[in-house]
């Protein structure tokens, strides 16, 4: 699942490095599901599990995880506000929202924090690892159950990136 080609200068191969993950959700059985699914990939190391937004911010500041799986409906501080604060204390951490909320408006608010993706919990069985991989590679991920609805800015952004990349490839002959 986590295979890459030859890394470019300054990049590390996902197979050769450990990716530190913080799991944030207020429902313990769900955290266990996420953790056990992630641990199927040897390169992914869950470094912590927390159940509320303020703890997520504190853990992000202390441990600076590579990836944070973040629910929206959290006690003390909702996931969207927690993501904004995490951006301040651990700007290099990538964020993947994992929420039961299917509202395109909520998903757009979540992604506006700079998060790399939005995964609907009911899609996690088939989409969790692909979502994690996409976000870690710097790509935007949207659950299939939301992708048809939403996120004009995300679609435009992805399309624009593809066009720009194609133009650069054509002009410079670079791949």
Percent with pLDDT over 70 in the chain? 75
Helix axes 79-89, 104-111, angle to 10 degrees: 10
Average pLDDT over residues 100-127: 96
Residue in this structure with the two tokens 């995880």, named with its chain if needed: 65
Q: Check residues 93 and 167 and name the one with the higher pLDDT.
A: 93
CB 19 within 8 A of CB 67: yes
- 17 band by pLDDT with thresholds 50, 70 and 90: confident
Average pLDDT over residues 40-57: 97
Residue 5 in any domain: the answer is no
The model's pLDDT over 74-85, given as tens digits with 9 standing for 90+, comes to: 999 999 999 999
Contacts of 158 (CB under 8 A, 6+ apart): 140
φ/ψ region of 106 (left if φ > 0, alpha if ψ in -120 to 50, else beta) reads: alpha
CB 91 within 8 A of CB 63: no
Statement: residue 51 has pLDDT above 50: yes
Residue 173 in any domain: the answer is no
Nearest to 34 by CA among 25, 42, 173: 25
H-type helices in 2-151, by residue range? 28-38, 53-63, 79-89, 104-111, 124-136, 144-147
pLDDT at res. 153: 39
Residue 164 in any domain: the answer is no
Residue 155 in any domain: the answer is no
Q: End-to-end alpha-carbon separation of the chain, Å? A: 23
Domains identified in the chain, total number: 1
Residue 160 in any domain: the answer is no
Strands 141-142 and 94-99: unpaired
Average pLDDT over residues 162-172: 51
Residue 123 in any domain: the answer is yes
CATH number of the domain enclosing 134: 3.40.50.2300
Owning domain of residue 70: 14-149
Residue 30 in any domain: the answer is yes
Residue 122 in any domain: the answer is yes
Statement: residue 3 has pLDDT above 60: no
Average pLDDT over residues 4-30: 69
Statement: residue 155 has pLDDT above 60: no
CB 69 within 8 A of CB 23: yes
């Amino acid at each position: 699942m986590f295979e890459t080609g030859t890394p470019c200068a300054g990049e590390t191969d996902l197979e050769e490095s450990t990716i530190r993950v913080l799991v944030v959700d207020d429902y313990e059985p769900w955290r266990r599901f996420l953790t056990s699914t992630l641990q199927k990939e040897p390169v992914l190391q869950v470094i912590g599990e927390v159940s509320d937004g303020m703890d997520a911010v504190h853990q992000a500041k202390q441990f600076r995880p590579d990836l944070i799986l973040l629910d929206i409906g959290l006690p003390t501080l909702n996931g969207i506000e927690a993501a904004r604060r995490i951006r301040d204390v651990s700007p290099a951490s990538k964020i993947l929202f994992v929420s039961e909320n299917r509202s395109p408006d909520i998903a757009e608010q979540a992604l506006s924090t700079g998060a790399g993706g939005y995964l609907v919990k009911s899609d996690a069985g088939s989409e969790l690892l692909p979502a994690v991989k996409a976000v870690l590679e710097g790509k935007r991920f949207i659950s299939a159950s939301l992708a048809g609805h939403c996120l004009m800015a995300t679609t435009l952004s992805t399309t624009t990136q593809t066009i720009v990349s194609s133009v650069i490839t054509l002009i410079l002959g670079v791949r």
